[in-house]
Amino acid sequence: ELVLGACPELSELRLNSNRIESLHPLGDLSAPCLNSLCVFDLESNKVSDMPAGLQGALPSLTTLLVANNNLPGLPPTFGEWTSLRAVSLHGNPWRQIRNALIQKGWPAVQEFLRTRVAEEPPL
């Protein structure tokens, strides 16, 4: 298990092409742990789920690279992730997001996710 809280000044984390299936071995992602992380590269792995609270753990993230994984969708809360500016999404088996929307870029996908947050009933 990689404990991300032990690396508070890390600005880039590149874990591409490592056959990663889950982010759970990265440690507790429920609280801010990588305040300086700007780039998180998970491209070309086997990730099938993105934790809904990831934006709380990575408050400064601007670039999320998740192309070529096994993601069927993204948490609707990603639509409210204000620091996120660029996200690579192609090459995933999307069920939640149409490819035509993905081709329009992250701002269009983010707006779609934002509308999904509004539709979710409160817990």
pLDDT in tens, the chain (123 residues): 566 667 778 999 999 999 999 987 666 666 677 889 999 999 999 999 999 888 888 999 999 999 999 999 999 999 999 999 999 999 999 999 999 999 999 999 999 999 988 776 555
Q: Which are the contacts of 102, defined by CB distance < 8 A and separation ≥ 6?
A: 89, 90, 94, 109
Domain boundaries, the chain: 4-119
CATH superfamily of 4-119: Ribonuclease Inhibitor (3.80.10.10)
Q: Which are the contacts of 10, defined by CB distance < 8 A and separation ≥ 6?
A: 4, 34, 36, 37
| Side-by-side strand order, sheet with 63-65 | 12-14, 39-41, 63-65, 86-88
Contact 26, 4 (CB under 8 A): yes
Query: What local confidence, expressed as pLDDT, does residue 30 receive?
Result: 61
